[in-house]
Amino acid sequence: MANYKNPRLKNAAFKRFLSVVLVTLTVVSLLIVSLRIKTTPGLSESVVIQSGMEKLNLPKRNEFSIRLEERNRFPSRNMDLYPKLAKDHITIVLYVHNRPQYLQVSVKSLSNVVGISETLLIVSHDGYFEEMNKIVEGIKFCRVKQIFAPYSPHVFTDSFPGVSPNDCKGKDDAGKKHCTGNPDQYGNHRSPKIVSLKHHWWWMMNTVWDGLKETRGHNGHVLFIEEDHFIFPNAYRNLQLLVSLKPEKCPDCYAANLAPCDVSLRGEGWDSLIAERMGNVGYAFNRTVWRKIHRRAKEFCFFDDYNWDITMWATVFPSFGSPVYTLRGPRTSAVHFGKCGLHQGQGKNNDCIDNGSVNIQVDATDKVANIRSEWDVEVYENQQGYKAGFKGWGGWGDNRDHQLCFSFAQMYH
């Protein structure tokens, strides 16, 4: 009997074989593309972030802004000197503007902090100023990462978020003047140098927690300080103790602070820990708290006050539903020494420091950890300060600022 093969079966087998080959080639191609992206430093990250940026209503970038964004992807410096960070390190973020004399004092104080070499210092710049950059590039006492706010008003000289040619000014009537802008609750139009304070803080927070590859997987606490903060030698060790004691001593505390909420005080000197309202000098919190803050982006971005801290106290924190306490020691580990506002800047003829220096007394007890685990917690209730119901100082009424702020909250999501 002669052999007989059904041509339909033969064709079906060939089609199945062809399908398998095509699927295999597709998978291999995808793997090759994936490997190329992963082996190109920063490519996958930049592609994803760039794709997200294009979907947002962000200002059109100029060449300077694009260069700053590229610099933000540069690796940390001093990795050869400090190849490994401590396992449970607390990242430190120093946010700066344009006061080089202040920054020199702050950096010098940081160089004397015990344990500083164990961690990563991130310096966030509100735009780019060469003298500020040089000071940071001279840091050798720890690993350093620099980031620059690419949408700072200082980066845009003739368009929003800087000054646009057709912007309303002062108390201009937009209808009569045919100018662009929305006044705040007091009838005043935006000032780019003023609004940059709030924009920088919010951009920095979103970038540090959700944008940087160095920190977006960091679940521990992050310490935030400013260029006019003098940090005592025991600050880092004290902060480590506060963070470790917080779950037991003050489980309802959202943060840890290096200094009292009232920046004019140096502490009580008691043998006890202090729980009080969260301050703005040397504050540290973790990703869980950041998530709660980030969920209040609308409240933050639409509240008519150009100060980030007053916005937090008056709108964001009250929305949490319970008092926002922070835990600190009875003696300060950081001091606010500035006497010039951030919007003033600083030039050679505009010194904000008397005789070019500060005189801050550092005692022997400020050089070693001076917090004890056996101490109880003294709670300050009903403290004075900005609370829910405060309507804000204004300066933040322009719809363009609201939208830019809200876009920052969506950049990495």
pLDDT of residue 19: 61
Q: What is the mean pLDDT of residues 338-356?
A: 54
Please state the pTM of the whole predicted model.
0.85
Q: What band does 1 get if pLDDT is binned at 50, 70 and 90?
A: very low
Q: What band does 36 get if pLDDT is binned at 50, 70 and 90?
A: very low
Percent of the chain with pLDDT over 90: 77
Read off the tokens for 332. Answer: 């300060």
pLDDT of residue 56: 81
pLDDT of residue 9: 40
pLDDT of residue 18: 59
Whether 344 shows a pLDDT value over 70: the answer reads: no
Q: Between 29 and 61, where is the model more confident?
A: 61
Q: What is the mean pLDDT of residues 36-49?
A: 44
Percent of the chain with pLDDT over 70: 82
pLDDT of residue 117: 98
Q: What band does 248 get if pLDDT is binned at 50, 70 and 90?
A: very high
Least confident interval from 25-34, 59-68, 92-101 = 25-34
Whether 403 shows a pLDDT value over 90: the answer reads: yes
Q: What is the mean pLDDT of residues 243-247?
A: 97
- In tens, the pLDDT along 145-167 reads 999 999 999 999 999 999 999 99
Whether 356 shows a pLDDT value over 50: the answer reads: yes
- Decide: 254 and 285 in contact? Cβ < 8 Å: yes
Q: What band does 246 get if pLDDT is binned at 50, 70 and 90?
A: very high
pLDDT of residue 174: 92
Whether 349 shows a pLDDT value over 50: the answer reads: no
pLDDT of residue 41: 42
Least confident interval from 40-54, 251-265, 296-310 = 40-54
